[in-house]
Amino acid sequence: MMRAEIDKMSKMRRAGVLLHPTALPQGVLDENVELFLNWMAQAGLSVWQMLPLGAPHSDHSPYQAYSAYALNPALLPENLSTVTVDEDNLLTFIQNESAWLDDYALFVTLSESYDNRPWSEWPIPYRYRHKDALESFSTENKDRLHGLKRQQYLLFQRWQEIKEIAHQQGIILFGDLPIAVSYDSADVWAQPGLFKLDEQLRPTVVAGVPPDYFSETGQRWGNPHYNWDKMESNRFAWWRARMAGALRQFDLVRIDHFRGLQALWEIPATAETAVEGRWVKTPGRQLLEALRDDFPDMPFVAEDLGVINAEVEALRDDFGLPGLSVLQFGFSGDSDNPHSISNQIENSVVYTGTHDNNTTCGWFNALDPELQHQVLQQLPQDAGSMPWPLIEAALQSPAQTAIIPMQDWLALDGEHRTNTPGTTENNWVWKFSWDQVSAQLTEKIRDRLERNQRTNSKGSI
């Protein structure tokens, strides 16, 4: 699918599904990907949205990865890990991706050598990247380094194959770019000057969000903050390269925590919670101008949830970026609530809920009966039992794109939610199974999409 075709699709009413690849039946990029894309096309769905594809830390959060570029090795099917590769193609990949791949392979190998401790606890020659030490280590571990690069080659090859199959089915891939990178990552280790670190290379401030709907004490993510002066000095070369990498994987990219491009919540590194943080302005406008030079069609979506002010809205609107609305947030009764059904707009992406929300059934079941009645009164009638009234409201919305989490298409309860913000247990582990997906459900989805002019024209039953 050419960029012009993708741009044309972006102007059409469409619907999709939010499902991270780790939530596929086997949690890997095996034949279930093709089955899933076939199912999407049959159901009339044309957008597959997912979370960041990087290798996560032990908490499994895709927003805390060891590299801003590398794909998660856990996604590689076992049968692909041993295939014979074209050595010339592999060498070309290694050369083309050397700007991040060399550091990634070194980082992983060093981490393995030191019991997976953070790089800030490695011996000084490696922590501070002494050239002789790294060259000697690379020579001693050349087989492991080569193996890691080969692994990334296989993952990238498989992903490009998936992207091509999706395009053949009339489906675009909608990815996610985290606003921040993990401190314990190849990115920070390789270029510490781009981050606010002290002389011992430890963060002076860390990222997060203030108290909100999800947490009374806010969220202390722990990611280091950017040294924006340094980044701006070469017109955001680091960000532009990172976005170029994302757009090789995806057709459309969600900029996570978009409000951070106007101001980020800086928390003292010594603070235990996010309460002690403060807003610090960032040069997001200049960054977006640089990205627009590289990507004139601006294939981005602004994740504008949280504490949003007029400046954030102006930044989003001045660049023509779609924002998000989440219907679960739309029943506060406030007339200016951007998530309410009556305030939906065309240039936006509407959700029943996101990966951080409860499933729609779980959310609705947790409401008291009076509030349940008030919610139902505002939703389309005769849509069936939950989650279908909320799904129907999303499909009827003027928003160009409607995204429904897989759990909601399957009408699953709160036991199946993806993530509970502010917690570390039982997150990012849910998977669906094909016995949950009936032919009747596929037909039902397609019928709903057709009635709301959101059908993937290439799909058929």
Catalytic one of 256, 304, 392, 408: 256
Is residue 173 within 8 Å of residue 50, measured between CB atoms?
A: yes
Backbone angles phi, psi at 255, to 5 degrees: -85, 105
The answer to whether 356 is a known catalytic residue is yes
The answer to whether 102 is a known catalytic residue is no
Catalytic one of 176, 303, 304, 413: 303
C-alpha span between 261 and 253 (Å, rounded): 15
DSSP characters over 213-230:
SS-TT-EEEEEEPB-HHH
Tokens 């400046």, residue located = 311
Is residue 118 within 8 Å of residue 43, measured between CB atoms?
A: no
In 10 A of CB 59, how many CB atoms? 12
List the structure tokens of 257. Answer: 């925590």
The answer to whether 256 is a known catalytic residue is yes
List the structure tokens of 310. Answer: 């007029």
DSSP characters over 253-315:
EEETTGGGGTEEEEEETT-SSSTT-EEEE--HHHHHHHHHHH-TT--EEE---SS--HHHHHH
SS3 419: coil
Residues labelled as active-site residues? 256, 303, 356
